[in-house]
C-alpha cells in the first residue's frame, strides 16, 4: 500500500529523508575532507586559556605540580604529596605524564 504510512511512523511526515552517513564526509575531487583541527594543539590551547600552564620557575621535574598549584591556589608541597600518593596507588602513573604532554609551557 503505497500511500499508507507504516505503523509507528509519523503520519504527518511524507517526504523522503536522505540516508544517514556512517563515516566522515567524503572528499571531493581528490581534496581532503575538512576537519575541525582537534588534537594535541587544540587541547593545549584550551588548557592554556583555562590558566593551566607549566611555569618556568619553581619546577621540580616538569612543572605539572607547580602549574596545578598555581591554577587552583594550593600549596605546591601539598600538590606534590598528593601526586606521589596517586603514583603509589597507581593512577598517578598515567595522570602525571598525560598532564606533562597536555599542559603548555608558560610562555
Instruction: Report residue 81 as a C-alpha cell.
Output: 604529596
Contact 69, 76 (CB under 8 A): yes
Cα separation, 27 vs 3, in Å, equals 37
Cα separation, 80 vs 98, in Å, equals 16
pLDDT in tens, 62-81: 889 998 998 889 999 999 99
pLDDT value at 18 more than 80 = no
Question: Which pLDDT score is estimated for 27?
Answer: 46
pLDDT value at 43 more than 70 = yes
Please report, for the chain, the start and end positions of each structural domain, with discontinuous segments joined by +.
54-102
β-bridge partners, 101: none
User: Among 22-31, 54-63, 69-78, 85-94, where is mean pLDDT lowest?
Assistant: 22-31
Amino acid at each position: 500500500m503505497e500511500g499508507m504510512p507504516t505503523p509507528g511512523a509519523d503520519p504527518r511526515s511524507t517526504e523522503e529523508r536522505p540516508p544517514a552517513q556512517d563515516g566522515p564526509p567524503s572528499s571531493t575531487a581528490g581534496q581532503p575532507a575538512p576537519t575541525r583541527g582537534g588534537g594535541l594543539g587544540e587541547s593545549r590551547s584550551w588548557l592554556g586559556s583555562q590558566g593551566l600552564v607549566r611555569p618556568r620557575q619553581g619546577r621540580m621535574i616538569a612543572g605539572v605540580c607547580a602549574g596545578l598549584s598555581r591554577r587552583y591556589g594550593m600549596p605546591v608541597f601539598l600538590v606534590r604529596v598528593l601526586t606521589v600518593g596517586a603514583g603509589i596507588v597507581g593512577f598517578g602513573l598515567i595522570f602525571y605524564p598525560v598532564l606533562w604532554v597536555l599542559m603548555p609551557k608558560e610562555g
